[in-house]
Amino acid sequence: MTTRVLVTEEIADSGLDQLRAAGFDVDVQLGLSPTELLDAVKGAHALIIRSATNVDAATLEAGSDLVAVGRAGIGLDNVDVAEATRRGVMVVNAPTSNILSTAEHTMAMLLASARNVAQAHRDLTNGQWNRSQWEGVELYGKTLGVLGLGRVGTLVAQRALAFGMTLVAFDPYVSPDRARRIGVRLVDSVNELVAESDFLTIHTVKTPETVGLIGEASLQHAKPNLRIINVARGGIIDENALVAAIGEGRVAGAALDVFSKEPMTDSPLFALPSVVVTPHLGASTAEAQDKAGITIAEQLLLALRGDFVPFAVNIAASEAAETVRPFLALSERLGRLFTGLGAGAPATLEVTYEGAIADFDCRVLTLSVLRGVLGPVVSEPVTFVNAPQLADERGIQIREVKSASAQDYVNLISIRGEIGGRVTHVAGTLYGKNDAPRIVGIDHHIVDLPPSAHMLVVRNADVPGMIGTVATILGAQGVNIDDMDVGRSPTGEAAMMAISTAEAVPAAVVDAIRDSAGVIDAKAIELT
What residues are labeled active site? 233, 262, 280
If we measure between CA atoms, which residue out of 463, 423, 464 comes closest to residue 445?
423
How many angstroms separate the CA atoms of 213 and 507, rounded? Answer: 12
How far is the CA of 76 from the CAs of 94, 249, 290, 314, in angstroms?
Answer: 11, 38, 19, 12
Q: 3-state class of 448 per DSSP?
A: strand
Half-sphere exposure of 226 (CA within 13 A, CB side): 26
How many angstroms separate the CA atoms of 206 and 232, rounded? Answer: 8
How many angstroms separate the CA atoms of 392 and 277, rounded? Answer: 35
Q: Is 334 left (phi over 0), alpha (psi -120 to 50) or beta?
A: alpha
Q: In the chain, how long is the greatest CA-to-CA distance? A: 81
Torsion of Cα atoms, 238 then 243 then 246 then 248, to 10°: -110
Counting Cβ atoms within 10 Å, is residue 407 exposed (0-12), middle (13-18) or buried (19+)?
exposed
How many angstroms separate the CA atoms of 73 and 90, rounded? Answer: 16
How many C-beta atoms lie closer than 10 Å to residue 212's C-beta? 19
Q: 3-state class of 499 per DSSP?
A: strand
How many C-beta atoms lie closer than 10 Å to residue 224's C-beta? 10
Q: How many residues does this entry show for the chain?
A: 528
